[in-house]
Amino acid sequence: MIKIQKKNFNIDKEIKYLKDKYSNVGAVNTFIGYVRDFNNNKDVKYLDLDVYKEMALKELSKIKNNAFKKWRLVDCLILHRYGRLKVNEKIVLVVCLSEHRKDSFEASKFIMDYLKKDAPLWKKEFYHNDSVWLENSN
């Protein structure tokens, strides 16, 4: 499942919704990303995340499908927010479910590495006196 949304999300509800569908899941790996208060040697006030939603849905579906080809996943959720996000707000949730932990760990890392480097999402960080568009990186 892929979700791209402005609204905040409840981690427990998202995981429970997936996990309750399967009795064969032995491992649930999660990654949760938050807005930090300090970056580029500056105090961060907030960030704006911009997304080309149609392209992002298409590209995130591809990366999810690639993860299913490489690892034995039962299910997977990629949830990414956009819009103005304050310090300590959640940005991203990746949940990978599998029978065994290795598959869920490795698939989660694979998906997050893609999100940080290649996803069609753009971040503009705002500081006290200026702002900057951030370059995608690992």
pLDDT in tens, 99-129: 999 999 999 999 999 988 888 889 999 998 8
Kindly report the number of other CB atoms within 10 A of residue 17's CB atom.
13
Check: pTM over 0.85? Answer yes or no: yes
CATH number, domain 2-128: 3.90.1170.40
Nearest CA to 106 out of 68, 71, 63, 65 is that of 71
Burial 78-117 (b: 16+ CB within 10 A, else e): bbbbbeebeeeebbbbbbbbbeeeebbbbbbebbbebbee
Is 87 in contact with 44 (CB distance < 8 Å)? yes
Q: Which two tokens stand for residue 84?
A: 């103005």
- DSSP, collapsed to helix, strand or coil, labels residue 102 as helix
Q: Domain ranges for the chain, please list them.
A: 2-128
Half-sphere exposure of 58 (CA within 13 A, CB side): 5
pLDDT tens string 41-80: 999 999 999 999 999 999 999 999 999 999 999 999 999 9
